[in-house]
Amino acid sequence: MDYVIIIIPAGLAVIVAVVFGLFKHPAKALEERRQRMVELAGRLGLRYYGSVDAVASSLLPSSALFEKDVPRNVGNLIAEVRRPPRALLFDYGHGDAPMQRADLRSEGEERMLYLVAMVRLPDTVRAVAACLHRKDWFGGPVNVKGLYTLQFEGDRAFSESFLIAGEPREAISRMLGGPVRQAIMRWSSGGPQPVVELMPEWVMAYVESETGDRQVAQKATELLGYASGVVKALGEAH
């Protein structure tokens, strides 16, 4: 019997792999993501709550991110057992379909998520509500109203990098002192740049995340450390 050996060029092989990856069943991708988040919770000494809506609603404050969807569509929630928790990690998805275990078996398209980290400010510290969006090639987010820039003397890099939403501007400018700006600029990981949302009692950082991201646990850890650094800077500046 004759055998025909087909040699696929390296570049074409990469393309084929990517195409097959795009057609990966969304239920399998969601389940693998859930397993990675469960393992991460164990490594961090936190509790995995999953997609328990009642628990999620009791833990999460109001924010600009959550106002994008009703109800709050939270999945893979990780938090401290203590109440109130000081740190949380979770997925946040758009749309009305809840991210429950049953949803993992659906035939729907792969969803785009936000990977979110939240760290509570010290009891003696309160932040002025503001969202900081890093500029990109297209300027910035197109669905956020009231964006503006702030000019900080001697810090051109920060001044030219961020679009800010929130009022009053004078209070936000005072809050964003040198160490706080440095902490916000400190994100050095590849991929999407995080949005930083400052709330009276919390710092939130979130990035867009593909469901099948195999590095989700590492990115979640980095995001939590990043938000913790901003909290530390705000606390020291208080």
Report pLDDT digits (tens) over 37-63: 999 999 999 999 887 655 556 667 778
pLDDT at residue 137, rounded to an integer? 64
Contacts of 222 (CB under 8 A, 6+ apart): 189
Q: What is the spatial distance between Cα 64 and Cα 230, in angstroms, rounded to a whole number?
A: 18
The verdict on whether omega for the bond into residue 84 sits within 30 degrees of 0, i.e. cis, is yes
- Report how far apart the first and last C-alpha atoms of the chain are (Å, whole number): 79
Tell me which residue has tokens 């693998």: 32
pTM for the predicted model, two decimal places: 0.80
User: How far from 232 is each of 86, 110, 217, CA to CA, in Å?
Assistant: 13, 36, 23
Per-domain residue ranges of the chain: 25-237
pLDDT at residue 62, rounded to an integer? 76
Please write the tens of the pLDDT for every residue from 11-38. 544 443 444 444 456 788 889 999 999 9
Question: How confident is the model over 120-133, as a mean pLDDT?
Answer: 95
Q: Which residues of 151-174 are buried (b: 16+ CB within 10 A; e: fewer)?
A: eeeebeebeebbbbbbeeeeebee
Which of 88, 85, 87, 84 lies closest to 75, judged by CA? 88
* Residue 66 DSSP one-character state: G
